[in-house]
A and B are shown apart, each in its own frame.
Chain A
Amino acid sequence: DAGVIQSPRHEVTEMGQEVTLRCKPISGHNSLFWYRQTMMRGLELLIYFNNNVPIDDSGMPEDRFSAKMPNASFSTLKIQPSEPRDSAVYFCASSLGSYNEQFFGPGTRLTVL
């Protein structure tokens, strides 16, 4: 199994630009999670989906952030417009249901100049 796949692995953009992060969960997993990791705030849950439906987006910091899961094998996290304080590593994770381990992807390191 290829594991959770994220793209791009690194993204450098300028303030005000739109950024789209992509995630492909492990095949057969039906729960998907987006996290943000920074030195200051640690590992934060942004949003999670069960069976492609967003369940809790209370961790999404602002309206500039949005996430979608159009099908079981693909999810996006979009930031528009991006700001320097959005610089972080964004992880996607997936699991089989609510009772099992979350597997993390390799992360996307985002730098907003």
Chain B
Amino acid sequence: GENVEQHPSTLSVQEGDSAVIKCTYSDSASNYFPWYKQELGKRPQLIIDIRSNVGEKKDQRIAVTLNKTAKHFSLHITETQPEDSAVYFCAAGYNNNDMRFGAGTRLTVKP
């Protein structure tokens, strides 16, 4: 089955700096790669996703890149703000079935 590894486990940046979170996956059949943000005590919420026919996707300050050959994908947040502080999860799966999640990255943005 799919195995997803996520790094780093914690990340602290200064407000205005960029943050990058990286994930690798094992199953070459996976074609759907979402990123979720989870604030303390809240539910995970999708912030961006990418499918295997696309190498990069951007939505305002958030971008995701996918390298299918190397089986890794990354989340990039630019101009970070304190409200970006949360735990971020990557996931991989065939469509959205049987998705496996990474262990999460706790991002802290210091004002």
Instruction: Determine the distance from Cα of A27 to Cα of B105 in the docked complex, in whole angstroms.
Output: 32
Q: Are A102 and B101 in contact (CB under 8 A)?
A: no
Instruction: Determine the distance from Cα of A104 to Cα of B95 in the docked complex, in whole angstroms.
Output: 17
From B43, B46, B49, B101, contact of A42 by CB (8 A): B101
From B34, B42, B44, B97, contact of A48 by CB (8 A): B97
Quote the shortest CB–CB distance from A25 to chain B (angstroms). Answer: 14
**Looking at chain A's contact residues, is the secondary structure mostly helix, strand, loop, or mixed?**
strand
Q: Which residues of A contact B1 (CB under 8 A)?
A: 58
Q: Are A42 and B103 in contact (CB under 8 A)?
A: yes
Q: Which residues of B contact A107 (CB under 8 A)?
A: 43
> Which residues in window 61-111 of A have CB below 8 A to B?
91, 95, 98-107
Instruction: Determine the distance from Cα of A12 to Cα of B2 in the docked complex, in whole angstroms.
Output: 33
Instruction: Determine the distance from Cα of A58 to Cα of B1 in the docked complex, in whole angstroms.
Output: 10
* Chain B CB within 10 A, most for which of A31, A55, A102, A106: A102
A–B Cβ pairs within 8 angstroms, 8 of them: A58-B1, A95-B96, A98-B95, A99-B96, A102-B46, A102-B96, A102-B99, A107-B43
